Amino acid sequence: MLSHEDFARREKEKARRLRKTRWWLRKLTDGVCYYCGLKFPASELTMDHLIPLSKGGMSARENIVPACKNCNTKKNSQLTVDWTEYMERLKGMESLV
């Protein structure tokens, strides 16, 4: 069985390889942050794991989305479901203002 450090190292290497694929380049070309839905230049999008590596997520296409730096930083190591609930609460608060 892999140690947590070995697992993380292996998955980060997989992510580096995925960044070079046509699949990821197409995602960047679309230029849309998965979380906030805003459009960004490709250089301002980062690769985010829906299920973070720290929570056992893997570097696989079905677990990786483009995210703006702001959303990726704020999401940190939260699960996407928790982050989505947080964003919905924020949207609800904005409608009250």
CATH value at residue 45: 1.10.30.50
39 phi and psi angles, rounded to 5 deg: -95, 140
Distances (CA, A) of 20 to 2, 26, 40, 84: 26, 11, 19, 28
- Bigger pLDDT: 73 vs 95: 73
pTM equals 0.76
Based on the structure, what is the number of domains in the chain?
1
Domain extent at residue 60: 4-96
Quick check: 46 and 2 in contact, CB under 8 A? no
pLDDT digits (tens, 9 = 90+) for 2-48: 788 898 899 999 999 999 999 999 999 999 999 889 999 999 999 99
